[in-house]
Chain A
């Protein structure tokens, strides 16, 4: 067990290094590179630029620059936003909560709905419900999230006027109900893809479990189908779901970027697009790294959690 954890941690560290290298490469691809913010300052002469470049250490070999950059990253110094000159981590932190709220809500929705649809589909295999759910899941995976958002806005905000078309809350209100009203549409839109993924996995997982001996035994022993389902099937099928939850994080983050744009939600995705538009490369970079690290951590957490729960791993 300890060995497994250490092994897994080691892997994550290696990944982290690789991820940071990719991030650094992207940063250096930016037109003008790290100097661009100064280059656009009016009246800046080449001499000024050279001086600043030396100050920032940009005249050193790339590998040294990378090492320096990575070291600062480790110490939590992610540079400062070109736009408002705040530390990048503060800027990201200011938007992380909104994204977390959106992603969290979407995940809860998709787990609940996806699990229900998946189990029902598996237990009533080849029923109309199962068939519809399967096709529905495929279609859901194919709909562009932003377009689904636009359609939702068109119907629920513009036509029916039930829900606000954007923002996270109304200034001066900010009650839970107000948040909920703003949250429901983007969260559902973001959850769509996830519901599809969850329901498909849940269906397969449930089918796998249903056919196993101990379930047949339990049923033979006279347990009601419902209890068998709850006790054995759901319990066992949920296990791989933890890993799946970890694996879903990148998709969810990507989806959040688009959803936040369409619904003007003040989260990291919005921030990413704004920063791209203003050529605020430190924040763009920061968000790239931040999201990659988030993905690494959630995969790690999922694996460790599985290890604790799953006796097969726990005992090794």
Chain B
């Protein structure tokens, strides 16, 4: 619910945890073979037909898409609202409320990246029948930076100046500086109706927030708090679909129950947090179900607080990486589902650097590194140098079972090289408050989706001016500071041509891999299931929620 929640995916409440891993926000990539894309699809029905029940282990509660929210809320947002354009599984933008995606080539964005012009679709109506116009877009862009509004994201939007409504179907604005990630941000900026929200004195508490009105494929019907949300087909939707009469998001706070209900057919699709890894073997042979492994964009890592004296020496971080038995963590504790990684960048990304040095698990090398760097074991077996003991605490959200197991496992391996790691897990309220934001921790195990949609920009996490504890604004809670990365991030943010941007990001991944402010463990992959015959279910690594394209889903007719 904070930006942390938004990005991360990694703030499991006890339930999510129960759920298994605080894998948050991961989403999938297309795996055509597995998904059966190769077989010919039956045509969708001509009128909406049937219903789908999607099970979530967290309850969607925030329906205004611009307020602080978590992943599951986006299930509703994608169903009820539209952005100007969407991002598809390959990272390409596809027009939604905009007629075409603005680029430098088509003149939508000026060559210097400063002036934007967006042409909008004509004849789109809100669910209440009022016409959609450029005024709504202007209102939305202004709402997200309104200081009195509990906005979930300001970064990027705060660069927008001089928004002008040229005509009901055309809008222009100027950017304060070129900002290449902005298209990706816009791809998850859902347009909200001005005529409904503007008259409200307090947009944080408007009735709209609990009965949203959008332009999307499905209309709000009702919410039974603590249980489910029902949506119905928008008969006059301009885009693909909808082909289903009803979509029901069912809240099932326990993953074991979620799985059981999937098995018995009470729910049709397992949504976040999907099927626990320990059930995979059983799930994949279930009759009448398609169960697939879908990679997500979230990266699990041990993240250090670089300002703590124990971690200032790069040899220490390297030694800890050598002592990290990644293979066992992945194979045993995560049932071999996730993919080991060396980068914070998802492997499906165009910007992923595949040439980073490969991790080795080697206790002897780790010991030697520490010996050579002058960290000598003390009487208690714990190494020390210049009065600094190699002892530190590691935290994560209390109740996240698999992570707790990983911590205890690491604790044992680190002890082998003379490093003491204590475990200090905290309730979410304490963990993700000051402790995290103001870098009060020593080290943590977290899963973070560093990206915004398909965009490779990670300024929020690695820029030296994004350190809250030093007065910055951002999520650089490890207090990582590298002039080289700062420069590269600046360059990457200014360039709009992907091939040119790529250079900067490949280099950044290399620097981070060498500096090790975080020890990358793996990229998440999760087990997702849906009933056979459910067509159109397409994982999208660039979105955080399975139902990002629920408008195109339909039941294959028998």
Which A residues are closer than 8 A to B by beta carbons? 30-32, 36-43, 45, 48, 51, 80-86, 91, 94-95, 98, 157, 165-168, 170-171, 264, 266-267, 270-271, 273-274, 276-279
Contact = CB atoms under 8 A, between A and B. Distances in A.
A104 B277 CA distance: 38
A168 B59 CA distance: 15
B62 to A, nearest CB: 6
Give chain A's interface secondary structure class. Answer: loop
Nearest to B67: A85
A42 B466 CA distance: 11
A31 B430 contact: yes
Nearest to B430: A31
Interface stretch (B28-36, B146-154, B362-370): B146-154
Given A40-B437, A94-B225, A278 B3 contact: no
Interface string B216-241: 00000000111110000000000000
Given A166-B254, A274-B59, A94 B226 contact: yes
B13 to A, nearest CB: 3
A40 B1 contact: yes
Given A80-B205, A85-B67, A42 B3 contact: yes
A45 B145 CA distance: 13
B429 A30 contact: yes
Contact of B209 (A45, A85, A273): A85
B428 A271 contact: no
B111 to A, nearest CB: 29
B373 interface: no
Interface string B188-225: 00000000000000001100011000000000000011
A171 B14 contact: no
A83 B1 contact: yes
B473 interface: yes
A273 B17 CA distance: 13
B2 interface: yes
A273 B251 CA distance: 15
Given A83-B1, A83-B62, A165-B260, A270 B153 contact: no
B252 A279 contact: no
A214 B255 CA distance: 59
Contacts of A270: 226, 253
- Highest count of chain A CB atoms <10 Å: which of B62, B210, B227, B437: B227
Contact of B63 (A38, A84, A165, A271): A84
Given A166-B252, A171-B250, A43 B61 contact: no
3 nearest CB pairs, A to B: A277-B13, A40-B2, A266-B226
A142 to B, nearest CB: 25
A89 to B, nearest CB: 12
A55 to B, nearest CB: 9
A39 B68 CA distance: 12
A271 B63 CA distance: 18
Contacts of A91: 225
